[in-house]
Chain A
Amino acid sequence: MNIIKCTLALGAALGLAACEDFSVRELGPDKTVDRGIDKKDLSQLQAGIWVDPNGCDHWIIDDGVEGYLSARLDPYGKPVCSGVAPPTQTVGDFKGGATGIFGDPI
């Protein structure tokens, strides 16, 4: 059921039979796993750094269809503004979970 919906939706959109994580289905309350082709527990996400316009660091993850962003904090709870890159720049490889289909385009 889910797969059919999924394939139909994606097939219509891109003319492709593959389906990474196109969840037209509705999930239950458990949001702790990635159920796509590269299915995995979310603890395995690979992050890079995105520097915000104030110069402070955030963890950035492109996991294919899902994107994640979360503040980098020091042990006192203050933002880490490391200067590792200029504002709005990213550092590191954070597209480990993305595939050819759902890499950059979405």
Chain B
Amino acid sequence: MRLVTVFGAAAIALTALTQSAAAQTPSQQGRDGGQYIPTIWVDPDGCEHWVMDDGVEGYMTPHVNRKGIPVCRRGNMCGVMNSDQFFATNSARISSHGKQRLAQFFQETNATSYIITGHTDSRASDAYNLNLSLRRANAVAAVAQASGARIADVRGYGERLPVASNGTSAGMAKNRRVEIICIR
């Protein structure tokens, strides 16, 4: 009990010290002591932003994790194509039936634009997979464009962003995919 009290006092003293050490400019000498506590605003895509109202000024910046990935409550991922249904192994060619299905998807979805990203499992080399996934994403984008859709970006992430374990064949099948993000 005594120990806790001493610790608590030490912590308060340390905090005060830190604050006074930080108060080196007029910006830290107001009522807020230079502390700005934000709240969260969720954008129409479902992603979070830090937001602060300082009276007359407003501040906002995206809430991303330490790897730079936005923190979102829902995504705008609107389609995940299982590569096995559209491409032969190591191929980026889409069958005419597959093209028809895709064209129908883009016509029905009718978004402002699309971001298309290709992904593979972890077999073969990283460089090979980056190339294959980009060629597949480009093949999908070509169908999208032919059906009147606007493409915002096309990327190949290869095997670098798996959504399942590459240790099982079911996991690998899940990782072989083309993701379609719909921008509305």
Contact = CB atoms under 8 A, between A and B. Distances in A.
Given A29-B37, A76-B69, A82-B113, A69 B60 contact: yes
At the interface, is chain A mostly helix, strand, loop or mixed? loop
Interface stretch (B47-55, B94-102, B135-143): B47-55
Interface string B48-74: 010111111111111010011110100
Contacts, number: 134
Q: Chain B at the A interface: mostly helix, strand, loop or mixed?
A: strand
Contacts of B155: 76
Contacts of A33: 39, 53
B41 A75 contact: no
Given A59-B43, A74-B181, A82-B113, A26 B32 contact: yes
B115 interface: yes
A30 B60 contact: no
Interface string A67-96: 111111111111011111000000000000
Interface of A: 21-35, 41-43, 45, 47, 57, 59, 61, 63, 65-78, 80-84
Interface of B: 30-33, 35-45, 47, 49, 51-62, 64, 67-70, 72, 75-77, 112-113, 115, 117, 150, 152-153, 155, 157, 161, 181, 183
